[in-house]
Chains A and B, each alone.
Chain A
Amino acid sequence: MILEVDRLTKAFGGLIAVKELSFEVDKGELMGMIGPNGSGKTTTFNCIAGYYNPTSGKVIFDGKDVTRKSSHERAKMGIARTFQLVKPFHNMTVLENTMVGALTKGASLSEAEAKVEEILDLVGLKDVMKRKAKELPLAMRKKVELARALALDPKLLLLDEVVAGLNPTEISEMLEVIKEINRRGVTIIMVEHVMRAVMSISKRIIVLHHGEKIAEGPPEEIANSAKVIEAYLGEKYMI
Chain B
Amino acid sequence: MLSLEMVLALLPSSIVYGIFLGGLYAIIAVGLSMIFGVMKVINLAHGDFAMLGMYITFWLLTIFGVPPLLSLPVSFAVMFAVGFPFMWLVKPLFKRPLEEMINSSVILTYGASLALASGAQMIWTSNFRRVPNPYWGTTFSIGGIGLDMGYTVVFMFAVIVYLMLYFFLIRTKVGKAIRAVSQDPDAAALMGIDVDRMHTLSMGIGLGLAALGGSLLSLVYYLYPWVGEQLVLLMFIICVLGGLGSILGVFYGALIIGLAESIAVIFIPASIKDVVAYAIFLGILLIRPQGLLGGKM
Contact = CB atoms under 8 A, between A and B. Distances in A.
- How would you classify the secondary structure of chain B's contact residues: helix, strand, loop or mixed? loop
A51 B297 CA distance: 10
Contact of B97 (A46, A51, A52, A90): A90
Interface majority SS (helix, strand, loop, mixed), chain A: loop
Q: Which 3 A-B pairs have the closest CB atoms?
A: A90-B97, A46-B297, A52-B296
Contacts of B295: 12
Contacts of B296: 51-52
A12 B294 CA distance: 10
A90 B296 CA distance: 20
Most buried by A among B97, B296, B297: B297
7 contacts: A12-B295, A46-B297, A51-B296, A51-B297, A52-B296, A90-B97, A90-B100
Nearest to A12: B295
Interface of A: 12, 46, 51-52, 90
A51 B296 CA distance: 9
A52 B290 CA distance: 11
Interface string B84-104: 000000000000010010000
Contacts of B100: 90
A12 B296 CA distance: 11
A77 B258 CA distance: 49
Interface in B263-297: 295-297
Nearest to A84: B297
A46 B100 CA distance: 23
A195 B261 CA distance: 59
Contacts of A51: 296-297
A155 B97 CA distance: 31
A21 to B, nearest CB: 19
B185 to A, nearest CB: 14
A52 B293 CA distance: 13
A83 to B, nearest CB: 9
B184 to A, nearest CB: 12
Nearest to B100: A90
Nearest to B290: A53
B87 to A, nearest CB: 25
Contacts of A52: 296
A142 to B, nearest CB: 16
Contacts of A12: 295
A90 B100 CA distance: 10
B95 to A, nearest CB: 12
A45 to B, nearest CB: 11
A212 to B, nearest CB: 21
A46 B297 CA distance: 10
Nearest to A91: B100
A187 B97 CA distance: 32
Nearest to A52: B296
B68 to A, nearest CB: 44
